[in-house]
Amino acid sequence: MLNRVCLAAAVAAFVAAPAFAADMCGASPLAPAIPGIGEIAGKTPDDAHKVALDALKNVKIYQAALQPFYDCVEKQSADNKKAITDAQGKDDKAKLADLQDSEAKLQKNYQQTVSTEKQVVSDYMTLHDAYCNMGDGLTGCPKKK
């Protein structure tokens, strides 16, 4: 009886491995909310600078939190590709399909994360540009000619 339970658990773990692999890296870190330009409208340059600086700090924290996720995705993708090659060599169509599905999910999650990161940076740059347009010689802004 115990042997059957152990065998069933081992089979379940083996079958679930590709699905687990797709989720191995987990969800990407949550993106920070970057204030819109309306948040600095009517503020003094010093207050607007504080808002922009806080947003920059949040972007940097977010990007630092993304690095382990990106590293995990890179490693997991390499592992998936090796397992796909092995499954192709053994002509194991079921395992191959599961591995390909796992890799597709991993890449979709990765692409969504990259897109979100780009949007966060773009939102910050919009805020920063609005701050810099408040006047000449503001901290962190290029000098106007």
Task: Indicate whether 28 belongs to any domain.
Answer: no
Predicted TM-score (pTM) of the model is: 0.77
With respect to residue 77, please indicate whether it lies within any of the assigned structural domains: yes
Query: Is 11 part of a structural domain of the chain?
Result: no
Q: What's residue 104's pLDDT?
A: 94
Residue 12 lies in a domain: no
Has residue 64 been placed in a domain? yes
What distance in Å separates the CA atoms of residue 134 and residue 112, rounded to the nearest whole number? 34
Residues in CB range of 80: below 8 A, 6 or more apart: 21, 99, 102, 103, 106
Spans in the chain with pLDDT lower than 70: 1-23, 145
**How many beta carbons lie within 10 A of that of residue 73, not counting itself?**
19
In a domain, 83, yes or no: yes
C-alpha–C-alpha distance, residues 126 and 59, integer Å: 13
Number of alpha carbons in the 13 Å side-chain half-sphere of residue 116: 17
Neighbours of 97 (CB within 10 A): 12
pLDDT tens digits along 58-81: 999 999 999 999 999 999 999 999
Q: How far is CA 100 from the centre of its chain?
A: 21
Asked whether residue 145 is assigned to any structural domain, the reply reads: no
pLDDT at 101: 93
Segments forming the whole domain that contains residue 97: 36-132
Total count of domains within the chain: 1
